[in-house]
Amino acid sequence: MSTTHPQVTTAAASRSRRRGRRRVSPAGAPTLWFAAPALAIYALIVIYPSLGGAYYAFTDWSGIGAHKWIGLENFKTLFTDDQSFGSLVNTIKLTVFIVIVQNAIELMLALGVHTMIKSRYVLRTAFFAPAVLSPVVIAFLWKYMFNPQPDAGLNAMLGFFGLDFLQQNWLGDPSVALWAVGLTVVWQYAGYSMVIFLAALQGIPKDLEEAAELDGAGRWQRFRHIVLPLIAPAMTINLTLSTIGGLKLFDQVFAITGGGPGYSTETLSTLIYKQAFVFGQYGYSTAVALVLAILVSALALVQMRYLQSREVTY
């Protein structure tokens, strides 16, 4: 019978444990080497272009050849040129419209399909369906719906219900075109946000509402003091997503109006595209893009911090 020296066995076990610890240690150098290729690709694709774009925002680069450092001239142009500043105003108006109208409609839809009506599953599918379609497809669909003829599209529908006074030249009237684009966005994404609200509503314990009802609380009081505070996390998500989406909106605007009539629906995103690929002003385009990135980041961060501070737990 063979025997093994206890000291040899103990030393071998100790070395095995040390090797095992080195292999599984999350802070070990071998583990970092596995992340190095992904970090290198991320730096090449994201970080380097972002820093390059930030640099070109302070130049007069035309996309080809040499460029000259001009400091803050591009940013001055953005805030002093009527067309450029108008695109900033249009972006903010459109975002406010989308955030308010979309979240109000989607909350009502969520409350409606949260009831025990027999068709609730069919309605959930119907309301959510537009969200899975391409924004460009939706844009061209609504471009037809906004036909100015009284016997076509949305105008024909309004005339059928006796609402002729609401018929408009939806995309030809500068005072209406921006809100027509906003209506398209709301119609497409209301169902998407409805699902988020619906998930929050289904997570509310029924005991709370039943207890409040027994205490004499009416439907509005239960909604205000129980339902609304408990769906605050979903409200934070939806408000933040709709704010970011509204600020960077491009597809629907470009496909429906192209920024027209005139510049009445021009947004920062369409301005970036035109300045870069139509007029060849890449330096100015990157300056506008940098302002848009800062605007989106700042508003989203402030909004999220504020809304999260008002959330309650149960």
The tens digit of pLDDT for each residue in 102-132 reads 999 989 999 988 887 888 888 888 999 999 9
Which is higher by pLDDT, 263 or 115?
263
pTM across the whole model: 0.83
Long-range contacts of range 187-190, CB-CB < 8 Å, 24 or more positions apart?
Answer: 187/130, 187/138, 187/142, 188/130, 188/131, 188/133, 188/135, 188/138, 188/252, 189/102, 189/130, 189/131, 189/242, 189/245, 190/102, 190/105, 190/106, 190/109, 190/127
Band the pLDDT of 209: cuts 50, 70, 90: confident
What distance in Å separates the CA atoms of residue 172 and residue 262, rounded to the nearest whole number?
10
Residue 198: is its pLDDT beyond 60? Answer: yes
Band the pLDDT of 208: cuts 50, 70, 90: confident
Band the pLDDT of 8: cuts 50, 70, 90: very low
Band the pLDDT of 273: cuts 50, 70, 90: very high
**Per-residue pLDDT at 22:** 47
- Mean per-residue pLDDT over the chain, rounded: 87
Residue 206: is its pLDDT beyond 90? Answer: no
**Per-residue pLDDT at 15:** 55
Average pLDDT over residues 142-169: 91
Q: Which domains does the chain have, with CATH numbers?
A: 6-56 (no CATH), 73-309 (1.10.3720.10)
Secondary structure tally for the chain: helices H, strands E: 16, 0
The 10s digit of each residue's pLDDT in 52-110 is 888 999 999 887 878 899 999 999 999 999 989 999 999 999 999 999 999 999 899 99
Structure tokens, 204: 């509310």
- Contact present, 308 and 95 (Cβ < 8 Å): no
